[in-house]
Each structure stands twice: as structure tokens, then as C-alpha cells.
Structure 1
Amino acid sequence: MEKLVILLAILPCVFMKTLSKPPEDSEPSLRFAVIGDWGGSHLPPYYTEQETMVAAQLGKTVADWGADFILSVGDNFYDDGVQDVTDFRFKATYESVFNADSLRDVPWYVIAGNHDHYGNVSAQVAYSNVSSRWKFPDLYYDLSFKIPTTNVSVRLILLDTIVLCGNSDDSNGGQPLGASNPKSANDQLEWLTQKLESAKEQYLLVAGHYPVWSIAEHGPTLCLLQHVEPLLRKYGVTAYLSGHDHNMQYLQDDSSIGYILSGAGNFMENSHKHKEEVPDGYLRFFQGHQDTMGAFAYMKATAKELSVTYIQSGGKSLFQTTLYPRWQ
């Protein structure tokens, strides 16, 4: 089927603009935030200043703009995940930090990052039975949401890129080292292909911890370029969401797929180490300066468009762009 995704020209028209509350009569929408690499520290007090600032801004943004859910794209607990479902890090790094009143009843849909897989990742799945807002039903899963009072829907396909590609060795180039269980990796690829092929939703989003494209410290993930990126193109995916590199990036490929990298929940890195490995023209926005003190992406889908706003701690809009439905 011919791809019908259209992306507006990217204009840096809202850099450092103060956010304002949307009008009360705004059209029906599905709203959510994307936050990655927010997982605190393995040392007391088990959170970082940047994490607390991001959490405070996330709470304020949700209070002002609303959110149907939060999407966590992995590295939820640094450095080595959690040990079991009673691990104190759930409270010290998550519950006690993301504690704004506006966030208490908002579900978090969670996937694992490489640091989560250093620990007992099944304990994070099991924590779904402990916390009313922590939603992590399996290592990979999918969700479908209907935009209220419309016939427009959003499909969100959540991957475990560590199962798919292997864990990464940051001291050895940062690339995943290969799937530890090739059969499990192949099973996930077959599942992804089936989900993409059958998706009828107007917006089709795929998320994983590792980025497909990145100019920063870890760079493009070769495994995903080989196995996932061709599927994103073939099935007309609207956008791919990720973290892993500790900054904010927006890239758009030559088939108009948006690549939303939101990895600034806990650290900021201003690396451009792999810039030459990303095709010319793909990078549309980058922010990795430490004085930003973290950021996340806020997404709002209506029947007409999907807006993406990158919001830093303190409430400034860093960048904004718009995607359109695959069909009407």
C-alpha cells in the first residue's frame, strides 16, 4: 500500500517559548508524554537533581495540558535495574519522585532499557501487580487507543530492543552485542511484522529503548537498521520513539518517518559523536546542553494531526513539529 504519511516542514518556530495552557474548547485528543533514561542513581539518595526537575515539569505539564498516559522508553533504574518486586528503588527512584498530584492516576506504560536488563527485568513486569499506575504487562506488547468522539485511532507497538538486539557494552562502542537468545529475538520480529501488517489505525507508532537513528554517543543502532527500519518503511509507520542517548533529538528520514528520541530524564550529554553516520538532512533538532536540566516529549493526537513538543525542565518549549494520519 502506498504510504500516505505527510510531515509538515520543520520550522524552529517555538524554540524557548513559554508553554501556555490550551483553550478549554480544544478538540478531542489523545495526549501522552514520552520520557526515557530517568532512572536515578544506584547511590543515595537514589535520584538525581535532573530527574527531580524533569518530574516536577512533567507534573506541571500534565496538570496544565492533561495526559492519558506516560510512556517510559527504558533505563528506569540505574545502574543495574532492580532485584525483585519489593526492591526499595521502586519507591526511592519512581514513586517518591514522580509524585505530583496530577500524575497519581495517570498510567505509565513501560518498556525496559539495557540497564534494566542488567537486573531482574521480570520484577519490573511483576511490579504491575503492585502499583496501580505502573503498566508493564510483558517485555513487548501493543496498545490501541481511540481518540474520543472520533473514528481515529492510535496504535502503539512497544518493543524490547535488548531481547531483539542484545545488551550493549558502552566501553566497547556502545552497540548491542547480539541477541542472547536468537529464537526469542526472531519471535519478537515475527510478532512485530504481524502487528504492523494488521494495523488499521490512522497513527502507527513503534517504541523501543535503542534508537534507530541518533547522532550522539551511541549512534544509530545497527541491529535495528537491519531488522526494524525496513519494516517501519514497508508498513508506513508514523513515528519511532526511543531513548538510550541522553539528549533530545528529532530526525526525519526520506520516507517521512519521524524519529523521536527522548532520553533526557536523568542526564544530559551533548555528544555529536556519530553525526557522520546519519544521512544528511535527517537531523532536524538536537538538545544536549547540561543547563537544560532534562526534558521530555509531549504528544497530542487529534483527528487531524499529531503534534510533538519537546519540553525542558522549567517549562520552555525547545522544538515542535507535526505529523499527519496515514489516511483519513
Structure 2
Amino acid sequence: MAFALLSILIAAIPVTYCYPAAFQDLKGSSRNRTSIKFLAVGDWGGVPYPPYVTAVQKTTAKEMSKVAEQMGADFILALGDNFYFKGVNSVDSPRFQETFETVYTAKSLRVPWYILAGNHDHLGNVQAQIDYTQKSDRWKFPSYYYELNFHIPNTGKTLTIIMLDTVMLCGNSDDYKDEQPRGPLRAVDANRQLTWLQDRLARSKADFLLVAGHYPVWSVSEHGPTECLLQRLHPLLLKHNVTAYLCGHDHNLQYLEESGVGYVVSGAGNFLDADVRHWNHVPKGSLKFFTGQASTLGGFVHAEVEKDKMTVTFFQAKGTSLYRTVLSQRNGH
């Protein structure tokens, strides 16, 4: 009986759901470097028919390469909806080439891409995207959710980024009129992820602590605030003094700030949406910046984490920065 129960418990533990927290190496770290720089782009995943890319994706990729070259980028955070409209079906899908490898070709973008899954990815085979990590020299998607730790060079400070699967946590939003997720596919997986997240946040001694997911906590656009994340994630961000939460899902650029936490929406990698139907559904005074106009041609975020501050800059694909903000390191660190 005990053996049978143990077998059931072992069978219930997914193989690739979380990932050990080691420190990542930064390539090309020089003696006089004192910061970590990265780009964040969401909802960048092309289209499932020729030419498999959109005009917005191409212009955004081009501007990303320029900003990465001029300002520096140690890595890129890919915030979900990596392949429109139904993810990929296998690790051998041509979409990896058509929508990723042959689009982000610049040398400055040949850095690690840390991936998480969006709602469209979950309509396909997310495990196939995880498995592609073994076939690509820059696609880094070790598990559905995982933690990244970095030493900020020559400062004695640290940066931690927790990558979440908000679809596993909250459910898929794709088939519902109000676009709100209706609860997780498997409650056991959602609860396991939440328990893991609570543990990682409680243990974190990082000077800068970022959390990234696909769904927004706060958004003024089409999808609006995600009720499930307001209930399950938002209290944890506040309790553990998280520096910022980064996401996509709404196809625009937004910056909100509430109770000392920065909320970065960077979902303009492939489509643009100027919808502001949830303008009054976020905390009063929290929205600092918004753009989703087609004239921007797309957009993304550049971040630089230094000894005592994190600078976040929003770029439009047509070649200029639109908004910049500075976040402090965590209190008590």
C-alpha cells in the first residue's frame, strides 16, 4: 500500500516544472563593468502562415538589435505568446526558424533568450518549446517556471528574475469573451507553482527582485487587470518587496507603479493595440505611461540594473525612446 502510494506521488511530480537556482554567467564580463542590461519583449510570435512574421515584428526586431548594440544587452526576456496563434506542435516545428531564428539575426541579439509561455503557446505543445532549448544555442526555456540569479559585476549586488507560467497558474483566457482566465487546467500544478513561488520569494536576498509572467497584474488595455493574479500574486509582490513585475498579453507598452512595485507591460513585439477600456480599473494615479499607437511600429523595453538602481526605458520600433523610469533596490538590502 505504501509503495503504491509512493508510486502515485512520484508519478504526479512533473519532470520539467521547476528549475534549480544557480547563478548564471554573463558572457564578456569585463573588469570595469558594473551593471546588467537586458531587453524585454512580449507577444512577438509572428503568424502561422507565410511569411510567418508581421511588419511590426520585423521593425521591432531591427530596433531591438540597434538598442542592444548601442546600449548593451546581456540577455532577452521573452514574455510569452512566442508563436501565434496556437504555439508549436513539436520541437521540429519550422516555426522556430521562421518566427525566431531568421528574424532576430543580428549579432547583438545572439545572447540568451529566457523564455516563458503565453496563452497562445498553451494552445500548442509547451513542452516542445522547452525541448527546443536543447537544439538552440540561445533559446533558454528549462521548465514551465524557473528562477534566474545574476551577480551584478563588480558591485557585490545581485539580481534575481523569477519566470512564471501564469497560464498554468490561472488558466487559459483565449476562448472567453471578457478574456479573463477561468481557473487552471490542473489545480495541482497551479498550487505547486504557487507554493514554489512563495518559497523562492521568501528566501530571496537579492538586491533587485523581478517577477515575470505573461498575464498582467495591472493593465488599462483590452485584457485589463488579471483577477486571478490580483488574488494570488499581487499580495506576494507587495509582501516580499518585489522590485518590478514584467508581462505582455496586452499588445502595447505600459508602465504603472503601485505601493513601490513597478509594473511593466511590454507586449508590442508583433501587434499593436491602443485600446484603453480598463483605464479606470487600475489604482488611481498608478498609470505613468501608455502607448499602443500603430505609428510606433512596435516596441520593447531596455533595462539596466546597477549597484543601487534599475533604469527601465521604453522604446518604439521607429527609433526613439518614449519613457524612462528609475526603480530603487529593495529595502533592507
Same fold (TM over 0.5): yes
Letter in 1 for 2:80: G
TM-score by length of 1: 0.90
Query: Corresponding residue for 2:269?
Result: 265
- Contact kept, 8 Å, 1:40 with 1:48, in 2: the verdict is yes
Which residue pairs with 2:97 in the alignment? 91
Query: Structure 1 counterpart of 2:298, which letter?
Result: G
Provide the residue aligned with 1:163 in structure 2.
Answer: 168
| Counterparts of residues 58-207 of structure 1 (less than 5 Å) | 58-104=64-110, 106-169=111-174, 171-207=176-212
What amino acid is aligned across from residue 105 of structure 2 in structure 1? Answer: N
Structure with more relative contact order (C-alpha pairs < 8 Å, separation 6 or more): 1
Which amino acid is 1:54 matched to?
T
- CA root-mean-square deviation: 1.3
| Equivalences, count | 303
Is the 1:165–1:185 contact (alpha carbons within 8 Å) kept by the matching residues of 2?
yes
Q: Offset at 1:315?
A: 2.0
Calculate the TM-score normalised by the size of structure 2.
Answer: 0.89
Structure 2 residue aligned with 1:296: 300
Further displaced range: 133-142 or 171-180: 171-180
1:233: which partner in 2?
A: 238
Amino acid at match of 1:32: F
Residue 314 of structure 1, aligned match among 318, 321, 325:
318
Whole-Å separation in 1 of the counterparts to 2:108 and 2:209: 27
Structure 2 counterpart of 1:84, one-letter code: S
SS of alignment partner, residue 323 of structure 1? strand
Q: Which residue of 1 aligns with 2:11?
A: none
Distance 1:272 1:168, change over 3 A: same
- In 2, are the aligned partners of 1:27 and 1:302 still within 8 Å (CA)? no
Alignment-derived partner of residue 8 in structure 1: none
* Aligned residue type for 2:227: L
Calculate percent identity across the aligned residue pairs. 50
Instruction: Structure 1 unaligned segments of length 5 or more: list them.
Output: 1-23
Contact 1:35 1:72 in 2 (8 A): yes
Give the aligned partner of residue 6 of structure 1. none
Residue equivalent to 1:224 = 229
How much does 1:133 deviate?
Answer: 0.1
- Displacement of 1:275 in angstroms is 1.3
The alpha carbon displacement at 1:42 in A equals 1.1
Structure 1 residues 147-169: Cα deviation after superposition (integer angstroms, max 9, x where no partner): 10111100100000000000003
Alpha-carbon offset, residue 25 of structure 1: 11
Instruction: Say which SS state the counterpart of residue 120 (structure 2) adopts.
Output: helix
Quote how far apart the aligned CAs of 1:314 are: 2.6
State the shift of 1:119 in Å.
Answer: 0.4
Letter in 2 for 1:160: D
CA distance in 1, matches of 2:120, 2:318: 27
Is 1:47 the equivalent of 2:49? Answer: no
> 1:27 and 1:161 mapped to 2: Cα distance?
34
State the Cα distance separating 1:171 from its structure 2 match: 4.5
* Secondary structure, counterpart of 2:159 in structure 1: strand
Write out aligned runs for 1:18-29 (5 A): 28-29=34-35
Instruction: Describe the shift of the 1:57–1:26 C-alpha distance in structure 2 as closer, same or farther (beyond 3 A).
Output: farther
Distance in 2, matches of 1:164 and 1:279, equals 23
Which string of whole-angstrom CA distances, capped at 9 and with x for unpartnered residues, describes residues 181-228 of structure 1? 001100000000000000001001000000000000000000000000
Unpaired runs of at least 5, structure 2: 1-29
* Partners of 1:252 and 1:259 within 8 A in 2: yes
